[in-house]
């Protein structure tokens, strides 16, 4: 028995040594590996995805994935047969243009160097100062800028228009959307005043476009070329697995929030985006919520409608076979394969922003000569999707006595779930509730005010139903000042986490049942924002309490 135990120990030690040698050889000259393996339906992809970054799962259950050295070591312990593939960022040397080369372009069949990209962005602002403002939301680990172009008719003002965001290439080797978004900026600006549809979109929407969300990954091989682009950021982390998740918590990938993640989270906090889209590559499909769980979104009919519109418009302008996989170009994220920590679910759940993931090219780094064709396939759909934020039910919510704009909840009765309701925003009190064509009952409410409900509100596809609301203040409501000092959402909460945000730093957070039993206690560490784990709470009504400025303040919270 002793000999058998010693033999097993020797074999295990030898196996571990062999794996370590293989890992060292594989990662001798690379920071991440791209590989494929086959699974059966019983394989725990959820568990695997905590170690590696799953990129695609085919109907035949072939998995394509990326991993850094640590993640691949964990994968190899599973004993699964795999094949290492050529990295998508090294398939060919793309045509690059430098700062001088992009000055007088007459076609969009190139990729810019990093310096040329920065120059192009700020040139948009210089050429159209009344329509375009270019700014950085932060700097990456390697010192590159996360640039955003804001486009609207009065760029120096806030007019209460719906805010819309396009962002691309958070996976650094998925570069088709990068150039298409640069061209989209150019198209909107140069078409303003001459193209009626473009003029209306710029007049009515506050548009934000971030062409490159992971510049360190895209220019991993150096600022002069995107050859050698990688999926992860400079720290070896998949940014699209790094966001707080409604089911798996604030750090579902086990990593700290990356520099890019923090900048984008702060950017989202500073705005009230009604809609957004996150452009990727590696397949061709419109991927709509949810990614993290099987439950369909409350607005699933609307999601299918807008994604169907996107794909059908593409089909009318692209050769046969483009964006025709899955359900003819669209898919529910979870039904494709589940991920945790994706930005799509983060924006939908924690910011009530309708974001979907748009995969626009089977090849991640397409030859530059194919970029104009992909633009022609997609630009009409870019417009259609962005235009959707003008439809549904919209209006202003004000105080009936003063006429001042207020923030209030807009809740569709017998419809909402999983943080699907929205809020009006300041300074104008505007709200935008995107809905599929039907009849709805909508409740408008705010702490300290009498709520109002409007029945039989009619919504037609691609039309706006305007419903302005005046809420009447409840006099002598002593609870109102306390309720305004912090917010929790979603409330009711059906996921495992809720977000708490206060107007100053928060210490202890406690949650009590209605009979006074302490059910939860945690500490934020002095921040003013926290993701609170409510997974162990039974369905019911609770009181959540925090201490602000030496005073105990509280709100009711409902757990579904």
Taking 90 as the threshold, does the pLDDT of residue 515 lie above it?
Answer: no
Q: Is residue 91 part of a domain?
A: no
Tell me the CATH number at 472: 2.60.40.1120
Residue that terminates a domain, selected from 57, 85, 113 = 85
Of 437, 545, 434, nearest in space to 485 by CA: 545
396 & 257 share domain: no
Could you give the residue numbers annotated as active site? 359
Q: Is residue 18 part of a domain?
A: yes
Question: CB-side exposure of 261: number of CA atoms within 13 Å?
Answer: 25
251 & 290 share domain: yes
Read off the tokens for 201. 């979109």
285 & 374 share domain: yes
325 & 460 share domain: no
46 & 11 share domain: yes
Q: pLDDT digits over 234-286, tens only?
A: 999 999 999 999 999 999 999 999 999 999 999 999 999 999 999 999 999 99
Q: Is residue 438 part of a domain?
A: yes
Tell me the CATH number at 504: 2.60.40.1220
Q: Is residue 71 part of a domain?
A: yes
pTM of the model: 0.92
The pLDDT > 70 percentage for the chain reads 94
Residue that terminates a domain, selected from 333, 357, 389 = 389
Using only C-alpha atoms, the chain has a radius of gyration, in whole angstroms, of 25
Q: In 3-state terms, what secondary structure has residue 117?
A: helix
- Three-state SS across 465-479? EECCEEECECCCCCC
End-to-end distance of the chain based on CA atoms, in angstroms?
A: 55
Residue 234 confidence (pLDDT)? 97
360 & 402 share domain: no
Q: Is residue 432 part of a domain?
A: yes
Tell me the CATH number at 246: 3.40.630.10
CA distances from 249 to 124, 291, 491 (A): 39, 14, 17
Q: pLDDT digits over 487-512, tens only?
A: 887 888 888 998 888 878 887 889 98
| Confidence at 343, pLDDT banded by 50, 70, 90 | very high
Q: Residue for token digits 């994706």? A: 342
43 & 130 share domain: no
Q: Is residue 544 part of a domain?
A: yes
Tell me the CATH number at 53: 3.30.70
Q: pLDDT digits over 175-215, tens only?
A: 999 999 999 999 999 999 999 999 999 999 999 999 999 99
Q: pLDDT digits over 34-89, tens only?
A: 999 999 876 678 788 889 999 999 989 999 999 999 999 999 999 999 999 999 99
Q: pLDDT digits over 452-462, tens only?
A: 999 999 999 99
Residue 104 confidence (pLDDT)? 80
Q: In 3-state terms, what secondary structure has residue 357?
A: strand
Considering only 32-41, 347-356, 365-374, which range has the smallest mean pLDDT? 32-41
DSSP 420: -
User: What is the average pLDDT across 296-320?
Assistant: 98
99 neighbors 115 (Cβ within 8 angstroms): yes
Q: Write out the residue range of the structural domain in which residue 49 sits.
A: 2-85
Question: What angle is formed at CA 503 by the lines to CA 500 and CA 509, rounded to 5 degrees?
Answer: 40
As a whole number, the mean pLDDT across the chain is 92
184 & 320 share domain: yes
Report which secondary-structure segment, H or E, holds 308: helix 300-315
445 & 343 share domain: no
284 & 135 share domain: yes
d(CA 408, CA 442) in angstroms, rounded, equals 12
Torsion sign (Cα): 33, 38, 41, 42? negative
Q: pLDDT digits over 287-304, tens only?
A: 999 999 999 999 999 999
227 neighbors 89 (Cβ within 8 angstroms): yes
Residue that terminates a domain, selected from 62, 85, 108 = 85
Q: Is residue 90 part of a domain?
A: no
Q: pLDDT digits over 394-437, tens only?
A: 999 999 999 999 999 999 999 999 999 999 999 999 999 999 99
447 & 461 share domain: yes
Burial category of 53 from C-beta neighbours within 10 Å (exposed 0-12, middle 13-18, buried 19 and up): buried
Phi and psi at residue 480, in whole multiples of 5°?
A: -60, -50
In the chain, count of helices (H) and strands (E)? Answer: 14, 29
189 & 256 share domain: yes
333 neighbors 357 (Cβ within 8 angstroms): yes
Read off the tokens for 331. 């898919």
Residue 128 confidence (pLDDT)? 97
Domain count, the chain: 4
Q: Is residue 122 part of a domain?
A: yes
């Amino acid at each position: 028995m002793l000999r058998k135990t010693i033999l097993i120990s020797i074999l295990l030690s030898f196996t571990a040594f062999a794996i370590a040698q293989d890992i060292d050889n594989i990662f001798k000259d690379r920071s991440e590996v791209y590989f494929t393996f086959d699974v059966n339906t019983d394989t725990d992809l959820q568990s695997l995805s905590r170690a590696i970054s799953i990129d695609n799962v085919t109907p035949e259950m072939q998995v394509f994935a990326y991993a850094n050295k640590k993640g691949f070591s964990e994968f190899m312990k599973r004993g699964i047969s795999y094949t290492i593939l050529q990295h998508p960022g090294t398939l060919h040397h793309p045509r690059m243009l430098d700062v001088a080369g992009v000055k007088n372009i007459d076609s969009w069949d190139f990729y810019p160097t990093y310096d040329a990209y920065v120059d192009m962005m700020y040139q948009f602002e210089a050429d159209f100062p009344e329509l375009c403002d270019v700014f950085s939301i932060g700097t990456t680990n390697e010192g590159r800028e996360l640039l955003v172009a804001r486009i609207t008719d009065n760029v120096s003002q806030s007019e209460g228009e719906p805010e819309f965001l396009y962002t691309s290439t958070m996976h650094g080797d998925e570069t088709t959307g990068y150039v298409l978004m640069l061209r989209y900026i150019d198209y909107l600006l140069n078409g303003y005043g001459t193209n009626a549809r473009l003029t209306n979109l710029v007049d009515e929407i506050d548009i934000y476009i971030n062409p490159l969300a992971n510049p360190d990954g895209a220019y991993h091989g150096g600022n002069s070329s995107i050859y050698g682009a990688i999926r992860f950021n400079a720290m070896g982390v998949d940014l699209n697995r790094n966001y707080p998740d409604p089911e798996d918590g604030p750090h579902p990938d086990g990593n700290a929030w990356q520099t890019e993640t923090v900048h984008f989270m702060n950017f989202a906090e500073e705005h009230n985006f009604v809609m957004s889209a996150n452009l990727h590559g590696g397949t061709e499909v419109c991927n709509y919520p949810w990614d993290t769980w099987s439950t369909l979104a409350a607005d699933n009919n609307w999601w299918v409608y807008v994604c169907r519109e996107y794909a059908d418009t593409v089909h009318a302008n692209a050769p046969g076979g483009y964006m025709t996989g899955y359900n003819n170009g669209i898919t529910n994220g979870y039904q494709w394969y589940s991920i945790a920590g994706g930005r799509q679910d983060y924006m939908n759940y924690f910011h009530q922003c309708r974001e979907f993931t748009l995969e626009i090219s089977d090849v991640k780094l397409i030859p530059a000569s194919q970029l104009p064709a992909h633009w022609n396939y997609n630009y009409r759909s870019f417009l259609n999707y962005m235009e959707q934020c003008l439809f549904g039910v919209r209006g202003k919510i004000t105080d009936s006595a003063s006429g001042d704009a207020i923030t209030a909840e807009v809740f569709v009765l017998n419809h909402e779930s999983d943080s699907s309701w929205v809020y009006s925003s300041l300074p104008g009190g505007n709200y935008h509730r995107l809905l599929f064509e039907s009849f709805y009952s909508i409740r408008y409410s705010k702490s300290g005010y009498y709520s109002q409900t409007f029945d039989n509100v009619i919504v037609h596809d691609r039309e706006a139903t305007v419903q302005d609301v005046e809420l009447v203040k409840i006099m002598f409501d002593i609870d109102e000042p306390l309720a305004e000092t912090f917010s929790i959402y979603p409330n009711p909460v059906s996921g495992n986490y809720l977000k708490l945000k206060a107007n100053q730093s928060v210490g202890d957070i406690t949650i009590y049942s209605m009979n006074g039993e302490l059910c939860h206690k945690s500490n934020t560490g002095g921040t003013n924002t926290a993701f609170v784990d409510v997974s162990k709470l039974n369905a019911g009504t609770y009181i959540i309490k925090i201490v602000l400025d030496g005073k105990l303040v509280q709100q009711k919270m409902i757990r579904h």
